[in-house]
Amino acid sequence: MTRTVWAVGAVLASVAFALADGQDTQRSTQPIKPTTPDIKAPPAIVLPGPKEIDELVKKPLTADDAARVALLRQESLLIAKAAVQSATGARRSTGAALLPNLAFSSTSTSVNVIKPAPSQGTSPFEFNATTQSLSLQQLLFNFSHSEDLLRQATYMVEAARRAYDMSKNDLVNQVKQAFYTFVQNNSLIDAAQANVRNTQAQLDLAQARLDSGLGAPADVVNAKTQLADAVVALTQARQAAAASCQSLAIVMGLDPRTPLTAAPMSEESPVAEEMNALVDQALKNRPEMAEATAVLKAAQVGLNAARTGAAPSLVFNASFSDAGTSNPLAAIDGSVGVTLSWTFYDSGYTAGKIQQAKAGVTTAQAQLDLTSQSVVGDVALAYLNLRSAEQRETVTTANVAVAQEGVLLAQGRYRAGVTTFLEVITAQTSLFTAQTNDVDAKAAIQQARAALARAVGKPAPAIK
């Protein structure tokens, strides 16, 4: 028994000596420092702006501010505006056929023969002749042909105006999509900068554990790799933000070099929550629907005008003229009358016009139906995108909190020496991904709301 106790004591003593010797050896061994270059984030690249910056963009802009600037500066709107002017001019010229037509002409002739012909004798001669006339014409009746043409031109003016409104709404949507992309990319810069700070702190932690003899050189190398990836992501986020700033400036009608700053803003939620109510609102308010309806009415009235193209017409005429060789009032004439004209056979010209007009009605009706389907599709897609983005945002916001807690736990476990640095890297990568997804989801909500506002026919913001 005594021998057994002695043997056990000897074993314990040898184990204690070995542990003490190992600790002394660990204290005397210097950690291996990896020879890797330092990683530093480069400064942001700032492009020089134009010599003159628009006064409207020198302050931080909301999405509505950016839309108002575009409505003032974007040259593409001039095309739709010119179409309204052209249609208005066409209506005016068409309506002139229903109004009096007054014409005046004056002719003065002077003849001076210096060397007369032998048959006229030997004396030179001269005479002056003056003729003046004033005429009046007024359409009395042509089976409403001219009235139908005027109504057709009026509907086309309405169609051009609604097309102009549609162009403005489309431009506002384009600006807002570009604006929220710009905001999104700037928020991604913030996330990338936070990722750089976190990976730098984790590198410092790995270096401190290595210096204390508790860490591994591979941890420092992995931390620097993680930091390098974070710096690359930051430079890419900065480049994307700069590109989106240029895109926003272009769609606003500004110099692409114009520096822009976004102010905090959130798009209004749709008034109606149920999609069918939004569809009814869109069918009522969308400019495309009003434009297509006006085009259809113009085609229908044009068909009536084509049917009366060869109908009889009655025109009132009045004229006054005077003439004389020396006295302008030597001969005075005046006339008043009514002219009846009727082309009772035109070799199929009117029939061809009627056929064309019927085809125009069919086309306009089909276009109205297609426009209605397109409007419903726009509302459905925008509604789906909005609800999906809202669902994603709920999950991504919660996931950011979970990922932040995961980073804290991984760093704590690594400090305590109960896990590897790989767990810290994985947790930080998950956090950056969660933050990026959350930024994307929040931007998608604003973009979907803007698209839904356009889909339901919300008018463009008023220009102050």
User: What is the DSSP-derived secondary structure letter of residue 328?
Assistant: T
Q: Quick: pLDDT tens for 301-312.
A: 999 999 998 889
Instruction: State the CATH architecture for 35-100+142-313+346-455.
Output: Up-down Bundle (1.20)
Sign, CA dihedral 206-189-387-380, equals: negative
Give the total residue count for the chain: 464
Rounded to an integer, what distance in angstroms lies between the CA atom of residue 61 and that of residue 293? Answer: 37
Arithmetic mean of pLDDT over the chain: 87
CA distances 21 to 26, 69, 216, 311, Å, are: 9, 78, 21, 122
Convert the pLDDT of each residue in 320-338 to its tens digit. Answer: 888 766 555 556 788 889 9
CA distance 418 to 377: 56
Residue 214: count of CB within 10 angstroms of its CB:
13
Coil, helix or strand at residue 41:
coil
Q: Where are the domains of the chain?
A: 35-100+142-313+346-455
Q: Which ranges of 96-216 does DSSP label H, i.e. alpha helix?
A: 145-211
Number of CB atoms found within 10 A of residue 315's CB: 16
Amino acid letter, 367: Q
pTM of the model: 0.82
Q: How far apart are CA 321 and CA 90, in angstroms?
A: 33
Say how far apart CA 222 and CA 230 lie, in whole Å.
Answer: 12
Sheet of 125-141: strand order equals: 101-113, 125-141, 313-324, 331-341
Alpha-carbon distance of 194 to 422, in angstroms, equals: 19
The DSSP output letter for 97 is G
β-partners of residue 106 are 132
147-182: pLDDT as tens digits: 999 999 999 999 999 999 999 999 999 999 999 999
Residue 116: pLDDT band (50, 70, 90) is: low
Q: Is the pLDDT assigned to residue 25 strictly greater than 70? A: no
Bridge partners (DSSP) of residue 133 are: 105, 321
pLDDT at 127 over 90: no
Which residue's entry shows tokens 């950690």?
Answer: 31
d(CA 462, CA 464): 6
CA triple 195-200-204, angle to 5 deg: 150
Residue 132 confidence (pLDDT) above 90 = no
